[in-house]
Amino acid sequence: MESWWTIICTLCALCIAWLWSWWTKPHPRFPPGPRGLPIVGMAPFLGPEPQVTFKKLSENYGPVMSIRLGMKDVVVLNTYEVINQAYVKQASEFSGRQDLFVYTQVTQDYGITFKDYSDEFRRQKNFGMQALKRHGMSNKEMEKRILRESKFLIEKLRRQAGSPINIVPLLYQFSGNVVASIVLGKRFEDNDPTFLLLLKTLKILFADKKVANSIMMMMLFQNLRYVPPFSTTNQTIKEQLQILSDIFQQFVDDRNANFKETDVNNFMDAFINEKLNGAGKSDSSFSDQQLVVFARDIFAAATEAVSCSIGWAIICLLHYPKYKKVLMKEISECLGRDGQPSLSSKDQLPKTCAFLQEVSRFRILAPMVHHKTTSDAVLYEYLIPKSTQVTGNLYGAAWDKDTWPQPEVFNPERHIDEEGKFVFSPKIIPFSIGPRFCMGESLGRAEVFLGFVSVLQHFDISSVNGLPPLEGCSTNIVYSPKDFEIVLTPL
């Protein structure tokens, strides 16, 4: 009998010790935050949009807080000031990348999006920035490519004017062909089967609500990939990522077979040239596998980000129709029916710029970005150990009431000064900040401005069967609107 009591007491002691270790934070100076339940932590309480939950929790725990997810502690940054302090001012300590298995299971350690912060990451990103600028992302060349695709978009919209149109696929085609011209040196016809498969795959990964929300949860709580229904979704993700990789492998094989160093005019050619004739001769990171993932990720990110941004702008226009009249009047007075929009026309379109900036605040493009510490770090008074996941809640920064009074109110006027001029805000960071900021930021901003202005220059926009939803959309790396229909009336 005594032996049984000894076993029971020992088990109870072990349980108490385990629970004590569960409630104990990694360091006495670790940021405060909720622990949740044993084993699962706060995972069951995050809801479909974790960024919103984090923001609400920060009202009790502060802008720098922690949260237990499964068996790991995650630090969450909820205002622009703390995100800027970590990701910019202390970049060397906060620019690591947590292993996001849901993506790296196919990507491995190639590309730069999911690569940890290292000399190789910096070399590849510096090369990518320079190559993109040389081959399509300089202002003049970028504008020319965007305006060419804008004309195709307007022609397609004009053919379908007067009838309900699901505009989302057309926005995918517009943004996909702009980035394809820079990365691949080509554009696709609308019925090209490879192009259609690319766009279909992106839509499954980013805009399918079930898949996207599962990805978000698995990025925060990776062990979910072993548990149904997440395990089934994870298999779908692997299959779709492999489809993208296989397509870009074909592009790389084709560029290798037809490469001419005297005719380098796109990102892929620039990478191959560097591999054969530049630093790549002594740098093994310039490999075909690296190019496949690098080019794939640029294409995917640029296509999804731009189509979502313009989609949200149109949805906000429908929800807040008083701004539609204001913008159409401003664009008409600036460009007329036959004038061509340009990046230089921003100064003459302050209300349009203010509207688009408010859209990017109100429906932040990337709600959360996940980094990790590369060493023990002190952020304000808190000590954060090496290899801790640090999530920048960009939604929290965009909806910070101390920076943006009444953040739940859609108000473009907050971006107009007393003289009626547009005021650009560095505190709205849809493309993130610091060493891991999006390389295509300038391209994305230009596409959204020129594409949106082109549509409003030629059409009045009306909703079909009620307004498209502002809530309940897909939350993944990108916050994607649901498909929606509109009716266009030519002007």
- Burial of residue 229, with CB atoms counted within 10 A of its CB: 0-12 exposed, 13-18 middle, 19 or more buried: exposed
Tokens, residue 88: 């910019």
Predicted local confidence at residue 455, as pLDDT: 97
Give mean pLDDT, residues 279-295: 92
Q: How many whole angstroms separate alpha carbon 104 and alpha carbon 100?
A: 6
Domain presence at residue 50: no
Please choose, from the candidates 37, 73, 72, 77, the residue with its C-alpha nearest in 3D space to the C-alpha of residue 54: 77
Tell me the pLDDT band of 443, cut-offs 50, 70 and 90.
very high
> Has residue 154 got a pLDDT over 60?
yes
Tell me the pLDDT band of 383, cut-offs 50, 70 and 90.
very high
Helix (H) or strand (E) holding 17: helix 2-23
DSSP 393-404: EHHHHHT-TTTS
On whether the CB atoms of residues 123 and 283 are closer than 8 A, the answer is yes
Question: What is the distance in angstroms between the CA of the first residue and the CA of the last residue of the chain?
Answer: 91
Predicted local confidence at residue 230, as pLDDT: 85
How does DSSP classify residue 125? H
Each residue of 262-292: b (16+ CB within 10 Å) or e?
eebebbbbbbbbbbeeeebeebebbeebbbb
Tell me the pLDDT band of 23, cut-offs 50, 70 and 90.
low
Q: Could you list the residue range(s) of the whole structural domain that residue 331 is in? A: 102-368+440-490
On whether the CB atoms of residues 391 and 74 are closer than 8 A, the answer is yes
Relative orientation angle of helices 288-319 and 167-183, to the nearest 10 degrees = 150
Please choose, from the candidates 205, 179, 173, the residue with its C-alpha nearest in 3D space to the C-alpha of residue 192: 173
Domain presence at residue 467: yes
Domain presence at residue 419: no
> Has residue 307 got a pLDDT over 90?
yes
Q: Each residue of 453-463: pLDDT tens digit?
A: 999 999 999 99
Domain presence at residue 346: yes
- Give the β-pairing of 389-393 and 72-77: parallel
3-state secondary structure 262-320: CCCCCHHHHHHHHHHHCHHHCCCCCCHHHHHHHHHHHHHHHHHHHHHHHHHHHHHHHHC
Sign of the dihedral through C-alpha 397, 403, 409, 414: negative
Comparing 140 with 357, the larger pLDDT belongs to 357
Domain presence at residue 475: yes
Residue 228 corresponds to which amino acid? P
> Has residue 16 got a pLDDT over 60?
no
CA angle 63, 66, 72 (to 5 degrees): 155
On whether the CB atoms of residues 83 and 429 are closer than 8 A, the answer is yes
Q: Each residue of 194-220: pLDDT tens digit?
A: 999 999 999 888 877 777 777 777 776
Q: Determine the distance from the C-alpha atom of residue 320 to the mean position of all C-alpha atoms in its chain, rounded to a whole number.
A: 25
Q: Quickly list H helices, 408-489.
A: 441-458
Give the range among 117-121, 284-288, 474-478 with minimum mean pLDDT. Answer: 474-478
Tokens, residue 299: 């294409």
Q: Each residue of 313-357: pLDDT tens digit?
A: 999 999 999 999 999 999 999 999 889 999 999 999 999 999 999
Predicted local confidence at residue 255, as pLDDT: 95
Please choose, from the candidates 104, 93, 72, the residue with its C-alpha nearest in 3D space to the C-alpha of residue 223: 72
SS3 state at 451: helix
Comparing 103 with 2, the larger pLDDT belongs to 103
Query: How many independent structural domains does the chain possess?
Result: 1
The percent of residues above 90 in pLDDT, for the chain, comes to: 73
Predicted local confidence at residue 231, as pLDDT: 87
Domain presence at residue 118: yes
Predicted local confidence at residue 7, as pLDDT: 61
Q: What is the mean pLDDT of the chain?
A: 91
Predicted local confidence at residue 18, as pLDDT: 55
Tokens, residue 318: 């429908």
DSSP 65-115: EEEEETTEEEEEE-SHHHHHIIIIITHHHH-B----HHHHHHHTT-SSTTP
Q: How many whole angstroms separate alpha carbon 303 and alpha carbon 365?
A: 13
Q: How many whole angstroms separate alpha carbon 322 and alpha carbon 318?
A: 9
Tokens, residue 101: 């298995």
Domain presence at residue 90: no
SS3 state at 186: coil
CATH number at residue 138: 1.10.630.10
Query: What percentage of the chain's residues is helix, strand, coil (to nearest 5)?
Result: 55, 10, 30
Domain presence at residue 314: yes
> Has residue 21 got a pLDDT over 80?
no
Whether a cis peptide bond, with omega within 30° of 0, leads into 367 is no
How does DSSP classify residue 432? -
Radius of gyration of the chain (CA): 24
Tell me the pLDDT band of 27, cut-offs 50, 70 and 90.
confident
The percent of residues above 70 in pLDDT, for the chain, comes to: 94
> Has residue 476 got a pLDDT over 70?
no
Predicted local confidence at residue 11, as pLDDT: 65
